[in-house]
Amino acid sequence: MMTSRLHLQRVLLLQVLTKRQHQLSAREKASIAHHDLQKKRLVFFHVDLETGGPKAGVTQLSAVAYSPPLKKVLGEFNEYVNPGKHAIWDTTAKDITGLEPNDEIIKTAEHILKVWPRFVSFVGSHLEGGNKVGALVA
């Protein structure tokens, strides 16, 4: 279910970004990102977080890196997160995500403190120099 959802998000993102790129007016072409777009250095990140509710924390962290100039997906990140045994899961969140605290995929997942550095590394690997990540995720 989550893989097909990520694929659908990827397809929709590609459609929106491609359409948006063709709609740029002369004024928008003078934006601060225009130079990076022309040099094929612009990267968009679509990030999707799933939670177990306000008192449970993050249960899944997914992202797609997309290059509008190249019109291609550069990479995908998708990891489940174990919010810990003291997390209080919300019934509505469980219904929406389909995730439960005793699901094997959650029980075997790592805590956000382990997953987050890998996510930051994923983002950094798609940025020139990789040293702009702090500003991006701050």
Query: The domain that contains 53 carries what CATH number?
Result: 3.30.420
Assigned token pair, 130: 């990789």
> Distance between CA atoms of 120 and 86, rounded to whole angstroms?
26
> Distance between CA atoms of 126 and 41, rounded to whole angstroms?
9
Amino acid type, 48? D
pLDDT tens per residue, range 71-109:
899 999 999 999 999 999 999 999 999 999 999 999 999
Beta-carbon count within 10 A of 121 CB: 12
Model confidence at 42: pLDDT above 70: yes
**Residue indicated by tokens 């990540």:** 133
Q: What residue spans of the chain are helical by DSSP H? A: 2-22, 34-38, 91-97, 104-107, 112-125, 133-137
Lowest mean pLDDT among 61-70, 114-123, 127-136: 127-136
Q: Which domain holds residue 114?
A: 2-137
> Distance between CA atoms of 8 and 12, rounded to whole angstroms?
6
Cβ–Cβ < 8 Å for 122, 77: yes
What is the mean pLDDT of the segment spanning 46-51?
Answer: 94
What is the mean pLDDT of the segment spanning 38-53?
Answer: 86
Q: What pTM did the predictor assign?
A: 0.69
The number of distinct structural domains making up the chain is 1
C-alpha dihedral over 22, 25, 29, 33, to 10 degrees?
-70
Largest CA distance in the chain: 54
